[in-house]
Amino acid sequence: MPKRSIGIDFNNNRLRAVQLAREGDRFRVEKAWSAPMRRQSDKPEDLLRRLIAEQGFDRRAAFAVALPHRLLHYQYETEYQPAPSPCPDNLEMTAIDESIFTRNNDSPRLTTCIPTVTLDKCLQPFKENRLRCEIITSPAAPLLASLKNNRPDIVNQPAILLFADEKQSLILIADMDLNVIRIRNFPNPRLHNSANIDASALVREIRLTWQAAFHETLREDTPMLIAGRLADNKQLKVILADELTCRIVTLENLDNLIDSNKFSLDHTHQIAGQLAHMALSPDTKNKKNLKNRQIQSNKPVNTRRHLVFSTVLTGCTAFMYLFSLLLNQHQMEGRYKNLKSQCRQIFTQTLPHETVIVDEVSQMQQRAQTLKKELDLFGAYSNTSCHPLDLLVWLSANTPADMDLSITQCDIQGHTIRLKAVTTDHKSPYRWEQHMWNQPDIAGVEIIDPRRDKDTRKVSFEAEILFTQEDK
């Protein structure tokens, strides 16, 4: 059983809302609000948003909605006469008050219906605002419920229920079992001025509606229950009592209300208040006619909670990103410092006398070039240069006798041996070259200009052997 409900009345170009809370067996009016819907900018979805966001109505409460009277169609049928379709273009219709208007077999059947497309359009603002709309009905249903709840004394006789305010009147004719069998709605713009009231049109409409319902003139002492804003208009009551010879009874607002200093229901909020009461009442639990159609909005989402959760999640993500960014920067800085100190350490160890350090690599390269130049000046005196005697011994050892090679001239300087040799065939020089290549520390061997001498028939050639820059 819901603890809180909101009744919404869209009639008379206004939105009227009442929030009712259950406290034990009694009810408390928590909030009441109304807003005009005349302008195009007064869209129902915006008004509902304002209702929740600005007026503080509980979005989790069950909503009961009375649709504007102008959108509804009433089908009347008797046992022998099927009801004519109110819509000529065969629109798909949805009956909305079937379960509310109970009836017996003798009564004419009254069905309130609305084009399905229009009904879905009316429910769309609730879907957009994720509000739980449980009851959707005509304005007649809450008035009838109010009559049944507040005036159980009016039984076993037909009654007229009049809901009147400045702009329009709603006439309900109920049979002996208090089933509504005829509804009539018409505008009455001159009723609002109490000084110069013209109730003739209203009187005429009541008579005609009664006539249409029972096919007879209005009986005397028929109870007429007046609700709405003009329920307190004594002049109107006198006129109606005189003209129609009816027993005028004011239909009071909800009973069982806890006194609330903040909000009290006036007659303009009567339909909205009764709607909220219907949503809370256990009697109407089985009358929540929207459940079967599955057109109620989804379970309301706690936007604030989601917003807070999203904000916290986003904040955590941002914090983690920032933290990882700064941590990464810290690690990279450490790595860079380490590399820098290693470079500096190597430089200072190698060149301890250097005091001005700008670019370690360039300065080190410069120093290496200077040393190399200085070393080149001394040439053969360096330890890295080969001793000519060692090269001569090496050459002698690596020229096997079976190669038939006779060296005629040899020049040894630095790391190079240049020689002239004589052999008997062309193969020997290249065999010797191949042999040299297989020796360690050889940087290069080249045979230059091998030629056979015409007179001696011997092959002479020149060769150059280059050693690596290591000590020999």
Partner 1 sequence: MLKGFTTRERRLALVLIACATIICAYTLLIRPARARLATLHRVIPQKQNDLEQLTVLSKKVKKLQTSLDAIHQKILPQRDLTVMPALEKRLAAHNLFEAAEVTRQTRPVSEDVVESAIAIQFNSISINDLVEFLSDLKGNGNPLRLKNLHIERHRESENLINASVTTGYLFQKAN
Given the rule CB under 8 A, which residues bind partner 1?
A: 53-54, 318, 322, 325-326, 328-329, 332-333, 335-336, 339-340, 342-343, 346-347, 349-351, 360-361, 364-365, 367-368, 371-372, 374-375, 377-384, 387-389, 391-393, 407-414
Other C-beta atoms within 10 Å of 389: how many?
Answer: 10
Helix axes of 270-280 and 140-150: crossing angle, nearest 10 degrees: 70
* Contact between residue 418 and residue 462 where contact means Cβ atoms under 8 Å apart: yes
Q: From the CB of 162, what's the least distance to partner 1, in Å?
A: 41
Q: From the CB of 210, what's the least distance to partner 1, in Å?
A: 51
Cβ nearer to partner 1, comparing 212 with 368? 368
Q: From the CB of 272, what's the least distance to partner 1, in Å?
A: 24
Cβ nearer to partner 1, comparing 81 with 328? 328
Strands 62-66 and 4-9: parallel
Cβ nearer to partner 1, comparing 85 with 311? 311
* Contact between residue 413 and residue 426 where contact means Cβ atoms under 8 Å apart: no
Other C-beta atoms within 10 Å of 213: how many?
Answer: 24
Q: From the CB of 306, what's the least distance to partner 1, in Å?
A: 15
**Contacts of range 198-206, beta carbons closer than 8 Å, 24 or more positions apart:** 199/236, 199/239, 199/240, 199/243, 200/243, 202/162, 202/164, 202/169, 202/240, 203/239, 203/240, 203/243, 203/244, 205/169, 205/171, 206/160, 206/162, 206/171, 206/240, 206/244
Cβ nearer to partner 1, comparing 149 with 363? 363
- Rounded to whole angstroms, the Cα distance separating 218 from 213 reads 10
Cβ nearer to partner 1, comparing 53 with 212? 53
Q: From the CB of 169, what's the least distance to partner 1, in Å?
A: 39
In angstroms, the Cα distances linking 80 to 75, 83, 106, 133, 182 are 14, 10, 11, 37, 17
- Rounded to whole angstroms, the Cα distance separating 389 from 455 reads 34
Cβ nearer to partner 1, comparing 372 with 454? 372
Cβ nearer to partner 1, comparing 301 with 339? 339
Q: From the CB of 382, what's the least distance to partner 1, in Å?
A: 5
Q: From the CB of 379, what's the least distance to partner 1, in Å?
A: 7
Q: From the CB of 349, what's the least distance to partner 1, in Å?
A: 7
Q: From the CB of 435, what's the least distance to partner 1, in Å?
A: 21
Q: Please measure the distance between the N-terminal and C-terminal CA atoms of the chain and give it in whole angstroms.
A: 108
Cβ nearer to partner 1, comparing 91 with 351? 351
- Rounded to whole angstroms, the Cα distance separating 448 from 425 reads 15
Q: From the CB of 222, what's the least distance to partner 1, in Å?
A: 51
- Rounded to whole angstroms, the Cα distance separating 95 from 145 reads 18
Taking the CA atoms of 17, 21, 22 and 27 in sequence, report the sign of the dihedral they define: negative
Cβ nearer to partner 1, comparing 306 with 387? 387
Tokens (6 digits) for 253: 């607002």
Cβ nearer to partner 1, comparing 371 with 448? 371
Cβ nearer to partner 1, comparing 189 with 334? 334
Q: From the CB of 197, what's the least distance to partner 1, in Å?
A: 42
Cβ nearer to partner 1, comparing 85 with 365? 365
Tokens (6 digits) for 284: 């109407």
* Contact between residue 114 and residue 73 where contact means Cβ atoms under 8 Å apart: yes
Q: From the CB of 463, what's the least distance to partner 1, in Å?
A: 14
